[in-house]
Amino acid sequence: MRYDFQKIEPKWQQHWLKNDVFKSEIEEGKPKYYVLDMFPYPSGAGLHVGHVEGYTATDIVARYKRMAGFSVMHPMGWDAFGLPAEQYAVKTGQHPRETTANNVANFKRQIQSLGLSYDWNREINTTDQKYYKWTQWIFLQLHKKGLAYVAEVPVNWCSELGTVLANEEVPEQVNKGYKVERRPLKQWMLKITKYAEQLLQDLDDLDWPESLKEMQRNWIGKSQGAEIDFAIKGCDEKLRVYTTRPDTIFGATFMVLAPEHTLVAKITTKDCKETVEKYKEQSSLKSDLERTELSKKKTGTFTGAYAINPASGEEVPIWIADYVLATYGTGAIMCVPHGDERDHEFAEVYDLPIVAITNDEERYINSENNDGLDINGLEKEAGIAATIKWLEEKAVGEAKTNYKIRDWLFSRQRYWGEPFPIVYNKEGEPQPLSEKELPVVLPEMSDFKPTGTPEAPLSKAQEWLEYQDKDGNKYLRETNTMPQWAGSCWYYLRFLDPDNEEIFCDAKKENYWMPVDLYIGGAEHAVLHLIYARFWHKVLYDLGYVTTKEPFQKLFNQGMILGYTYRYYKNEKGAFVSHKNVKWQVEDSGQVAYDKDSGEKLEVFVSTDDVEWREGKAYRGDHELEVKAEKMSKSIGNTVNPDDIIRDYGADSLRLYEMFMGPLEQEKPWNDNGIEGTYRFLRKVWSLFLDRDGNLNESVTSQGKLDKDIEKLLHKTIEKVTNDLEKLRFNTAISQLMILVNELGGKDINKECAEILLKLISPLAPHITEELWSLIGNDSCVCQQSWPKYDPKLVVDEEITLVVQVNGKFRASLKVAKGLSKDELEKIAREDEKVQSHLQKEVRRVIVVPNKLVNFVL
């Protein structure tokens, strides 16, 4: 009987669903384990195999932990509000509610076809009014606590999209051809800055990748220095700057303000006004990211005004430049071209003075005045301390701790988002609604297109817009909606109690399940989603609604699965140019390709069609193509649909292949041929249990005694797989299982061995193991069995099995003496014929784990 995955897999998926096999429940006396995916945005494109990687990893952990005796929470839902859904709806004329429902249905079908062990009773959707009622409720708590306020701030405005954009959203939309400008608008803001220090300090206690924690530290951007007041010549105003190096004040030879600084209009002289206004307009068209790009050429213009350096008494010119942001520090800087690279570049461009303030030994020179400040000869820390002391004594400055993080811009001029529970009185003052009036339901609108002005689409919903309270007082509703980040800030809590209509999450359930024990998702969410979710959680903690300071105790970023694209190059005559003869140059328009010999500019074509592989190289006709592995994207056509792989090889083969490609955290290129190997492995497992006629092999149901070597290998495999699953080393766990299955082939095994094998494979390939578990006479599911334990006496051996990998992929297993040195193990691995065939490229590094593993990194 052949391994018929097309019949087996739907059968067990339906069984798990029908019997609520993965229902999460509080089980007193049992340890709990909360494993969470970053819930997906259900786009029209559906899943590709890159998405499958993280979901498979969490599913393996969830299944393993259940078998290991834990009460497991493993839920799934949909982050379904946001700009992409609205853009698609505008483009197609369909309502975003309709397109979102279709996308969710498709995503859910695909996810269920993978055999993922989610508790579907807990499914949530951020666009469901039963969900966003509580998003609005949390906003009211923020407002009550003084953390939500309206302010006029400079924003990234896109008139074509009809909305403001976060800084991080700007590059993507500009690349699509949308024009973005800076303009001041009244917006809702959340005071995340009040939690800056807590967000920074509590990172130390989290089991997160250090690189990700460092990204958050940089985003929060704590710095210590001083604020200094500069008098302005001929003006009553003072110019306050923040600097981390107040000790360099004697080298401050000019000042720079952000173009949006409120003083610019007051201090600009008549003869400079025209150029200043023109420069401000140019700056408004750039995002903060563009403006602060270190490699860009510095630009600016003189205001005509002068400030007085409080230390030297000298007059210094005041300029404006877009590399200074109004939202950081005070929006103004003192410029020290001798000590700061940006300031030095600016001074050279505009021929401004540069005064040396340190010598070759990094000691201060030219740093004294006649008013009690002399730091000449001191070292840096002493110089900073002495300068701050003097500034405070003279009442012209003070020590200051500053943070780069700015308050969170929380308004969007879009239809497809959570309405604010806010109304405005006749005076235009915002008034919060009572909690009893929640949810404020998004009105049904046929015309939900952006207006192209700061007036949001909801301003067209006249009947909805007008609000009257129980006393007959009339108000107008807030027409902005919340950003997509709002719903994803707290979804992990709603999973715990998704049907509660009285509160967002029952206290007992929160106390049992929180914090999230393992959170797996892409590194692209390193800052925004994760920092926003931490902020909301800390507010809820301070209000007594949650019992943990942090939501996500352990965070793991899976590496990206890359798709292949094929590039070819043509000159102006349309002739093919070999990729080996292409020279790339960075220009204003980006990277440009040229012919190395002729210098001729080339057209670059990206293709995934009409490609033929011959002897390990890609061709289109007679022309060899350049092959690149890069992020999967529908726009360049290099995505791989899991539906196709499941149809041809089955979900178990797909799951195993994605986990076997290499370490979970590494980037890995997808290769259709690779899945053949995991498919063959599953057929080997199948053939251990059934002969060609579909009869059970007698040994798998027998009570016979195991061969001693097989028994030892079995217990070593239990130990190895257990340890690897705990550490998310799925590729090496699969390698060990392959070794065991190869050894079992053609040998007599007993029922105990057969059942242990199925239990070990079950979290990784759940469908085939359920079928075989049933065929050998078991009524209950294998996924509901206890995880096997190894006998410590049977895992100690004078001979060990050395696993040899090349680039993290299993290539050989060798029996060697226990206790050999790293050099001896490397030598043995290199001499193996199977391994040699894979070492034809240069070996960059060799990783040797004594008594376990040799991995050659090419």
CATH of the domain at 711: 1.10.730.10
Cα dihedral value 608, 609, 615, 617, nearest 10? -40
pLDDT at residue number 605: 86
Give yes or no: residues 588 and 699 share one domain: no
Taking the CA atoms of residue 174, residue 178, residue 183 and residue 189 in that order, the dihedral angle to the nearest 10 degrees is -70
Distance CA 273, CA 251 (A): 28
Q: What's the CATH code of the domain at 231?
A: 3.90.740.10
322 and 338 housed in the same domain: yes
Is 335 contained in some domain? yes
Tokens of 828: 């043995």
What's the pTM?
0.86
Same domain, yes or no, for 397 and 263?
yes
**135 part of a folded domain:** no
Q: Closest Cα partner for 788 from 735, 725, 732?
A: 725
Edge-to-edge, what's the strand order for the sheet holding 809-817?
A: 809-817, 799-806, 853-857, 845-849
Q: Token pair of 571, please?
A: 């000159």
**Do 616 and 545 contact (CB within 8 A), yes or no?**
no
CB-based contacts of 620: which residues, under 8 Å, 6+ apart?
A: 566, 568, 607, 610, 611, 612
Residues 6+ apart with CB under 8 A from 456: 162, 163, 412, 413, 414, 415, 450, 479, 480, 481
Q: What are φ and ψ of residue 343, in 5° steps?
A: -65, -35
Evaluate whether residue 734 is within a structural domain. Answer: yes
> DSSP state, 486?
H
Q: Would you say residue 494 lies in a domain? A: no
Q: Supply the pLDDT for residue 380.
A: 94
Strand, helix or coil at 74? coil
User: CA 135, CA 80: separation in Å to the nearest integer?
Assistant: 14
Task: Identify the DSSP state of 797.
Answer: -
Query: 752 in helix, strand or coil?
Result: helix
Tell me, yes or no, whether 613 lies in a domain.
yes
Please name the residue that has the structure tokens 């798998």.
700
Assess whether 719 and 807 both reside in one domain.
Answer: no
Would you state the pLDDT for residue 857? 95
By C-alpha distance, which of 686, 644, 666, 639 is closest to 809? Answer: 666
**Category of 407 on φ-ψ map: left (φ > 0), alpha (ψ -120 to 50) or beta:** beta
**Are 787 and 803 in a shared domain?**
no
Per the DSSP assignment, residues forming a β-bridge with 75 are none
Residues lower than pLDDT 70 in the chain: 1, 167-168, 287, 289, 294-295, 588-589, 797
817 vs 803: CA distance, rounded Å: 13
Q: How far apart are CA 464 and CA 447, in angstroms?
A: 14
42 in a structural domain = no
* CATH assignment at residue 824: 3.10.20.590
314 and 446 inside one domain:
no
Rounded CA separation 664/657 (Å): 12
Nearest to 189 by CA among 157, 135, 142: 142
Q: What is the pLDDT of residue 295?
A: 65
Task: In whole angstroms, give the CA distance from residue 125 to residue 703.
Answer: 51
* Amino acid residing at 486: A
Backbone phi and psi for residue 802, each to the nearest 5 degrees, phi listed first: -90, 120
- The verdict on residue 721 lying in a domain is yes
Half-sphere exposure of 587 (CA within 13 A, CB side): 9
Last residue of a domain, one of 362, 379, 403: 403
Q: How far, in Å, CA of 782 to CA of 771, rounded? A: 9
Same domain, 187 and 305: no
Residue where a domain stops, chosen among 769, 794, 819: 794
User: How far is the CA of 215 from the CAs of 194, 221, 261, 556, in angstroms?
Assistant: 19, 10, 28, 15
pLDDT on residue 154: 78
Contact 655, 649 (CB under 8 A): no
> CB under 8 Å to 814, separation ≥6 — which residues?
801, 802, 804, 828, 829, 832
DSSP state of 441: P
- Best CA proximity match to 311, nearest among 270, 251, 250: 250
> DSSP per residue over 28-39, as a string?
TTS-EEEEEE-P
Q: Which two tokens stand for residue 360?
A: 């070759």
Q: Which of 312, 168, 321, 155 is nearest to 228 (CA)?
A: 312
Evaluate whether residue 253 is within a structural domain.
Answer: yes
Contact partners, residue 759, CB within 8 Å, separation at least 6: 67, 769, 782, 785, 787, 788
User: Peptide bond preceding 430: is omega within 30 degrees of 0, i.e. cis?
Assistant: no
Residue 75 corresponds to which amino acid? P
The half-sphere exposure of 836 on its side-chain side, counting CA atoms within 13 A, is 6
- Tally of domains in the chain: 5
Point out the domain boundary residue: 364, 385, 403.
Answer: 403
Q: Give the Cα separation of 307 and 316 in Å (integer).
A: 5
C-alpha 16/C-alpha 14 separation (Å) is: 6
Phi, psi of 202 (to 5 degrees): -75, -10
Tokens, residue 446: 């046929």
Q: Which domain holds residue 168?
A: 142-197+408-477
Residues 193 and 252 in one domain: no
- CA separation for the pair 566, 802 (Å, rounded): 38
Q: What is the DSSP letter of 499?
A: T
Same domain assignment for residues 253 and 379 = yes
**Tokens 């407002």 label which residue?**
143
Question: What is the rounded CA–CA span in Å between residue 456 and residue 449?
Answer: 9
The CA-to-CA distance between both ends of the chain, in Å, stands at 41
813-to-27, 331, 550, 724, 738 alpha-carbon distances in Å: 42, 62, 43, 17, 10
Q: Are residues 620 and 675 in the same domain?
A: no
Query: What residue type is assigned to position 552 of the chain?
Result: F
455 neighbors 397 (Cβ within 8 angstroms): no
Same domain for 323 and 420?
A: no
Tokens of 217: 């530290």
Same structural domain, 808 and 848: yes
